[in-house]
Structure 1
């Protein structure tokens, strides 16, 4: 720097040339430091370049470059997060809360793998960090991409922000050509306290807890803000690999540690449930002294070969589980009980509470489940909480565990206000005044208003644009509710005609609405267009059909493959669904009559009489639908009911006209001898467990059903096969044994 002329002697031409050179030198230094982890200049020299650049800009502000180093930290500020599709899905974990859940986890794995109770089976146990999941992609040892989990399939590109975290190496040596490291971004307690102190000094709002602070810091559009936040990173897993890291979970973690990643030192190898529970208790005792938040312990099968055999459910791995810590509790006053109407019409009671901190989070609302729970009884009429009901004004115990919705657990009758009255659950909808009925055997009271009920319409739209459904960027719950209230969007299909109704050139335009502008309106239109192509499972889930959650939607998509096939099956099965409901009613009537007459109920004749006259096609479609693993009569009836309501079906049809529905990815296998076929396994399988057989068949593109019908293509029958094999012979369905199955599809 000594040979550079003084700032005061620079001409305008010299200043412009030097600013260009400084921009180049500083950009190169940033790349060497942040991207390659191989600094080319000292910190002092780097700072001197930045000071020189700022001084010249101070004298010649009109010469400040668009790529000025004074506006950058490591990389230019992002204008928004682009989306990243994960090569390997980032799944969540199923939860356990009691010791017996862990014993069952072990037993379930042994059943799946066909292992005896005394066969050796090792697990890893590690603290479950309460932070933000992050995936880091390295190619040739270079960090090329960092992405949040998002919905598991698509996350946000936060590469520039991840580069500012000191625990994340910019370059690693001797790594596989492709290495995707996964872990958790978190904030230590001491760092969190210091951050909130700085927030207070600046007059800014403090963060509620370290997890929120970590999430907000990682998702800053300007990486300079992230760089100021004290974020840390623990590595615990991996995604796409060009070459395996090891044969075991523990071996792979050692490799990650060797690459320079922080791996939790409390990770331990356990030889079964007893050892796992001992380590769980040890970690729980240490929890308050760790210096960072954890909300449980994660157990994983150590053998990676067994992990591969166990595979995945629709949203969770079979080989791992999160053992959550007990719920944290606090006492507060119940101010009021409000009724919310959900997208299916269910009336849900919500406790409005005097704000109280539970587990580091301020809670002002909690669920009260249903009218029975408020009354102090279960669905069968048996007392809960000792029969104590819940009344407005009561002092109640609130609990929460992790991110679970807070719940009211108990009531302190000694503090009940004088004159407090039992809560009377409404029998009419508070939103539209329609009757709110409770069907036999159901614990929930529901509004009968359907589409005339504004709460149901709004909630359906809010659900439709939610993250797991259409996830339209910029069109969230608040925006869609506003558009509904103003009459611009009354049903999902209306979202996809917004541009033609309120876009450029129209008399009334979205850009002219309060809170909108030309750029935000165009962004919404483009985001909507990007969602015209939608995976089948997301479409099914987005419809908000009762009992059809994400898992059921994925099961249906995997089985039917296309929207057209699903609709045809549901329509064909409709008469059978009506028979099913009639059979339930006939059974109930027969039981009641038998009880009055003091005789034994004749259930089978009562039910069979209802099914007489049903066409074979309808019965086969019903058997196929209810035979899907995870889909029973309850979901099937819900589907039929939704599709047969004239107004709702018309609304669905109008929506689909605007969409390109992608076939389910699990149905895209075409070079398999069983792709697209419906397979039933029956009898005893000796070379594989039933669960392994199902997973293998689905991986090859087959549908696996639990019952034999005219739509069944193949029955794999082991020793002891009974009625299913008999029915297959009657229908002329092909039957093979287990050896024949392996000859057909090959060994895994």
Structure 2
């Protein structure tokens, strides 16, 4: 994989996990893992600025704004903090501040793992509660914050206007109570207190907030009309007198050594706290010093967040089992002696492949060090040979698939071992789940457990059968295969809706080897329907943007198989759309040879929407302005790119002019 492909892969991963974290409150990876992805992307983009694009996650703040709740613009933009992962980075930050400020003081605080909320008070009365949203616009959760006992509904000092920023969270005790209550009534299973707190605060029914006993720590005073302060620590002490629960046990430090000692102290105690934290924050204390240091467009120069490495623990590998994925890949899974790690019980860990097992010298019976690499499955860091028992056994991935008993082969040039039987039940299960996933046909309710039930009960064998489930509605409800009436009808409705998807989603869902969402989009833009794609020649495919020999041959191989033609015929008969909604536009190359740069916030278009439009008409989108730039599409707060475009004489257009160009 080359640098450009890795950058694109990282962007897609980060966008995917942003959606899960901010908009669905269902993250699949830890904050530490997410931070490592972002850090790698930042490094690659810094080393290769020619690949920076305006829609890269590094150019944005965070979550999107949900539609159900009222939008509220922020008075003070809610920007992120710069992340640090080492002692050296903390010392560099302190020394950099000292090079610009005489004898600065620093405040070190715990970084609470919850949902950021701004509270507004007018004349001493609580009038609004707003989530972070995208940093510029948040969501009103006013009715819900009224149900949080630790938030004062009025304060004794009746300032004309006061805004404070804090973190709404759920204590470990409250989280356990909710889990117990849900378990007793056979309800939902929640993974983390942070996810549950976030989801609870954004409920439309405030009674749910009252039941779940949320809390809030205030960590910043944003606006205080009629009252001035000289330092951050002074604001925290004053906020205490107003009835706010402020961030506990903060430390005021003068030297880098003192800062690091405070950060380390928090790290040592973090697993004993009655609530979750995801790091420590170091802030310059003096408020006038902060104004001198200022901020970039993305982060303040007067603060930094330290992220602790994942918690590690020792446990024993009791056995190793094999999982078979949708592509036939065999993944060894360590069965562990259960151990509590980062707040959850873990009993499994992925071992990736045979090379990983050999490199780490892992045997059944070994004591190993694990760390949490996801909300469910942790990873093995190393084995401890000196603790190896006499009866420990070496492990080799089997030469036959444990599901269908077909031979397995090791892929050339990679470490993966695969089952060669494309009819393997495990591959069929994985393929159907992938077809229904959000990135493909987006059929809500058709997850792994539902698919497994439908297969085991004989209702589906391949993706085509999904679209014939309506015929078995009464039987599905009677047997409760995917739930009772409401769940079944919701699933059938989602299946019907997916028939209208564009061709690119269908191609993605087919799971063609080496063909992901971006490749599927290029195919949909250049061919009118699935038949045209299936009849494409090698020469036609290799001529497409960013298509190489491997991708072209993978597509040809897929459509050379008769069973795949039969599958497509089955989808057509069910009424699934197989025509491209973008190929007609792609034949219009009015932007061919033109390069656009998108900057600022557009009135109605999202950046990725504008980017897609430009690409559909043959244009290119760049992340930086140069003499070769044809147009700068500018919105509000366009910043330095707009200035550079003006200096270079590049034509600047607004959204209205851009839409006129498309007419």
Q: TM-score, normalised by structure 1?
A: 0.51
Deviation track 1:129-161 (CA, whole Å, cap 9, x = no partner) reads 334x47789999987898899x99xx9999876
1:316-395 alignment runs, 5 A limit: 323-375=306-358, 377=359, 384=360, 389-395=361-367
Residue equivalent to 1:293 = 276
1:568-607 alignment runs, 5 A limit: none
CA distance in 2, matches of 1:279, 1:571: 64
Residue equivalent to 2:484 = 517
Aligned residues of 1:674 and 1:702 also touching (Cα < 8 A): no
1:445-524 alignment runs, 5 A limit: 445-450=417-422, 452-466=423-437, 472-492=443-463, 494-499=465-470, 501-503=471-473, 509-514=475-480, 516-524=483-491
Partner SS state of residue 398, structure 1: strand
Residue equivalent to 1:645 = 558
Partner SS state of residue 369, structure 1: coil
Aligned residues of 1:496 and 1:658 also touching (Cα < 8 A): no
Change (3 A) 1:217 1:561: closer
Residue equivalent to 1:679 = 595
- Give the drift of 1:361: 1.8
- Give the drift of 1:486: 2.9
Aligned residues of 2:596 and 2:619 also touching (Cα < 8 A): no
Partner SS state of residue 345, structure 1: coil
Aligned residues of 2:428 and 2:461 also touching (Cα < 8 A): yes
* Mapped pair 1:657 → 2:617: no
Higher CA-based Rg: 1
Partner SS state of residue 490, structure 2: helix
CA distance in 2, matches of 1:85, 1:426: 56
Question: What is the Cα-based RMSD across aligned positions, in Å?
Answer: 7.0
- Give the drift of 1:427: 3.0
Partner SS state of residue 433, structure 1: coil
Deviation track 1:434-473 (CA, whole Å, cap 9, x = no partner) reads 44333333122233333x1221221233344456666654
Equivalent position to 1:436, from 394, 408, 412: 408
Partner SS state of residue 621, structure 1: coil
Residue equivalent to 1:526 = 493
Change (3 A) 1:392 1:188: closer
Q: After the TM superposition, which of the residue ranges 482-491 and 333-342 deviates more from structure 2?
A: 482-491
- Give the drift of 1:85: 9.9
CA distance in 2, matches of 1:210, 1:436: 42
- Give the drift of 1:334: 1.4
Aligned residues of 2:82 and 2:304 also touching (Cα < 8 A): yes
Aligned residues of 1:577 and 1:637 also touching (Cα < 8 A): no
Residue equivalent to 2:46 = none
CA distance in 1, matches of 2:442, 2:271: 37
Residue equivalent to 1:78 = none
Aligned residues of 1:296 and 1:324 also touching (Cα < 8 A): yes
1:166-185 alignment runs, 5 A limit: 166-167=149-150, 183-185=167-169
- Give the drift of 1:97: 4.5
CA distance in 2, matches of 1:659, 1:87: 41
Partner SS state of residue 332, structure 2: strand
Q: TM-score, normalised by structure 2?
A: 0.56
CA distance in 1, matches of 2:366, 2:316: 6
CA distance in 1, matches of 2:363, 2:405: 24
Partner SS state of residue 426, structure 1: coil
CA distance in 1, matches of 2:407, 2:160: 64
Partner SS state of residue 440, structure 1: coil
- Give the drift of 1:356: 1.7
- Give the drift of 1:341: 1.4
Aligned residues of 1:463 and 1:469 also touching (Cα < 8 A): yes
Q: After the TM superposition, which of the residue ranges 439-448 and 366-375 deviates more from structure 2?
A: 439-448
- Give the drift of 1:488: 2.7
List gaps (5 residues or longer) in structure 2: 1-65, 222-231, 285-289, 601-605, 630-643, 656-663
- Give the drift of 1:414: 4.2
Deviation track 1:205-257 (CA, whole Å, cap 9, x = no partner) reads 9999755775797699986565244321346799xxxxxxxxxxx89x99x97
CA distance in 1, matches of 2:590, 2:296: 21
1:38-77 alignment runs, 5 A limit: none
- Give the drift of 1:540: 7.8
Partner SS state of residue 645, structure 1: helix
Deviation track 1:147-202 (CA, whole Å, cap 9, x = no partner) reads 899x99xx99998765422245779999999x99884422156x668889999999
